Structure 1
Amino acid sequence: MSLWSTYRSLTPKTRALFGVGVMAWATIGLWTTPQVENALGMQASPSEKEELDRQLAVRISRVGGDGKSDERAH
């Protein structure tokens, strides 16, 4: 029996409780992550955060065209 069919065979109340439990577990994990990182010494330094922000920055560049504004758009 597959995982999906096993899940579907549960009663609706049990599936709802399972979903609420998964959401609660995720919320607790997101809420406690900073404290766990600090306790394990895994907190990023400000320079590491800046480097990550720089690497994840979205760069937009125009492709094609002759560099003039498109007068048909006005």
Structure 2
Amino acid sequence: MSLLQAYKNLPPKSKAAFGGFLLAWGFLGLQFADKAEAKLGLTPSEADKATLERVKPRVVVVPKAEEGNK
């Protein structure tokens, strides 16, 4: 039995409870992730941030050609 089929076989109240659990898990992750990173010593250094800025893709906006200049 696949995971999707097992989920489909759950009663509606169980599906709602599972969805609520996932929402709560995500909310708690967003609230405490920065604090956990700091406690575990996983915060990026300035050198890491500079390296990321260097390899990050850049978006270049090209102006649209006017209708008469095609």
Gaps of 5+ in 1: 63-68
Look up the match of 1:30.
30
Are residue 4 (structure 1) and residue 4 (structure 2) matched? yes
* 2:68 paired residue number: 72
**Unaligned stretches of 5+ residues in structure 2:** none
Identify if the C-alpha distance between structure 1 residues 10 and 71 changes in structure 2 by more than 3 Å, giving closer, same or farther.
Answer: closer
Q: What fraction of aligned residue pairs are identical, expressed as a percent?
A: 33
Provide TM-score, normalisation by structure 2. Answer: 0.73
TM-score (normalised: structure 1): 0.70
Residues 9-50 of structure 1: CA deviation (Å, up to 9, x unaligned) = 111121011011011112111211111111111111133223
How far the C-alpha of 1:70 sits from its partner, in A, is 5.3
Is 1:16 the counterpart of 2:6? The answer is: no
Moved more, 45-54 or 32-41: 45-54
Rg larger in 1 or in 2? 1
Structure 1 residue runs of 4+, over 2 Å off? 59-62
